[in-house]
């Protein structure tokens, strides 16, 4: 797969953070054709993962120690407000941005939109951990790339 195609799959960095378009498939819905609430977690995860990826921070590279010692990100807390439903065949946009960056954590603001209409708002607290699950400080290069308020990264 070419890097251009991979970049398209990963969404795009914007002046505020990241945008990823996702289509709602039959498998994402309940019996009524409305997106099942737990599926939004999948969409949010994809947005966070591609946000990191486009900043040059891959999960595999983190675990291999590319930024110092081996580490990973783990979701510690998530607040989600379900405002409106999405339906089968909708094309949704997942927005992700850094709200707060600390020594061993990052807080991300995420939204899922259908056009201009906000469907989901989420605040996600993510911790940096060792492979054994112990807290770790965020490497300076990772922190630099995830600074709030801009696309940063590469």
pLDDT tens digits for 38-59? Answer: 999 999 999 999 999 999 999 9
Q: Is 68 a domain residue?
A: yes
Task: Please list the active-site residues.
Answer: 30
Residue 154 domain-assigned? no
In a domain, 151, yes or no: no
Residue 119 has pLDDT above 60, yes or no: yes
- Does any domain span residue 85? yes
- Domain housing 68: 3-145
Taking CA 3 as the corner, what is the angle to CA 44 and CA 115, rounded to the nearest 5 degrees? Answer: 35
* Beta-strand pair 12-13/117-129: unpaired
Instruction: For residue 153, name the pLDDT band (cuts at 50, 70, 90).
Output: very low
Question: Among residues 48, 59, 31, 28, which one has the least CA distance to residue 125?
Answer: 48
Whether 30 is in a domain gets the answer yes
CA atoms within 13 A on the CB side of 105: 14
Query: Structural domain tally of the chain?
Result: 1
* Structure confidence at residue 3 (pLDDT): 56
Percent of residues, the chain, with pLDDT higher than 70: 92
């Amino acid at each position: 797969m070419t890097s251009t195609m991979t970049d398209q799959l990963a969404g795009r960095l914007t002046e505020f953070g990241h945008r990823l378009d996702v289509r709602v498939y039959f498998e994402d819905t309940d019996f009524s054709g409305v997106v099942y609430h737990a599926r939004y977690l999948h969409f949010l995860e994809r947005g966070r993962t591609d946000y990191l990826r486009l900043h040059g921070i891959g999960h595999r590279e983190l675990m291999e120690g590319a930024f110092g010692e081996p580490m990973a990100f783990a979701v510690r807390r998530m607040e989600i407000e379900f405002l409106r439903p999405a339906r089968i065949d909708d094309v949704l946009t997942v927005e992700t941005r850094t709200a707060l960056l600390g020594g061993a954590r990052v807080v991300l603001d995420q939204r899922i939109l259908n056009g201009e209409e906000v469907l989901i708002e989420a605040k996600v607290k993510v911790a940096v951990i060792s492979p054994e699950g112990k807290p770790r400080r965020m490497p300076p290069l990772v922190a630099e790339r995830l600074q709030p308020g801009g696309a940063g990264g590469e």
